[in-house]
Amino acid sequence: MLFVKAVAMGFCIAAPVGAIGMLCIQRSLSRGFCSGFATGIGAACADAVYGLLGALGVAGIVTALPMLTVALKCAGGAFLVWMAWSIARDAPTAQAAAQEPARTPVTRDFVTTFALTLSNPLTIFSFIAAFAALGPLSAPKGEHGAMGWATVAPMVLGVFAGSAVWWLCLSGVTAALRTRLPLAFTRGVSLFSALAIAAFGVVQVVTGLGRLV
């Protein structure tokens, strides 16, 4: 039952369309299902890492090292802005449509999204809150007060599975519509994605710098 609850929690955490969601949609439209799904799985793996750290009680490290949080948020925001510029630059045009697009390895799509999602260490606290909502905090704990592996494992695996299901659905539906949409629509989505991702990046940088004040 705990695993099922964690799957539902992972799905709900991944479902809100933010910068990663826009990136998954854009890559699914421009490069196909594999690229979009690899993007989502990169985010799901990063969420699983932070979920594990949160469940094991490592969140105190982020609190003890606030400058690390600032540096990661600013770096992640800057990376989002750069990625937005790349998407806008590579938005499909009628001339480019006549040529076979260059294939980007799905491993690169995975790694970039994994690193980007890891740039927000405050995600740990989101998972602490989510795990608290699942209710197993009274389970046996380890010597440092963290939850035992018998509790942690199904929670983290469940969150990853739920997140992966969402990314599978999003990239699958988007890729299925890819061949039925006019080029102008695909280009419009790419440009809108670039603007949205850039906005997320700017907000992340400003938020990070704001913590220095």
Q: At what angle do helices 33-55 and 2-14 cross, to 10 degrees?
A: 120
Query: Are 43 and 14 in contact, with CB atoms under 8 Å apart?
Result: yes
Please give the mean pLDDT across all residues of the chain.
75
Written as one string, the DSSP assignment of 55-120 is HTTTHHHHHH-HHHHHHHHHHHHHHHHHHHHHHHHT---HHHHTSPPPPPPHHHHHHHHHHHHHT-
- Look at residue 143 and give its three-state secondary structure: coil
pLDDT digits 0-9 by tens, 85-133? 877 776 655 444 444 455 568 899 999 999 888 877 667 766 766 666 5
> Given a cut of 60, is residue 208 above it in pLDDT?
yes
DSSP state of 13: H
pLDDT-derived band at 36 (thresholds 50, 70, 90) equals: very high
- State what percent of residues in the chain have pLDDT above 90: 15
Give CA–CA dist 122/75, Å, rounded: 14
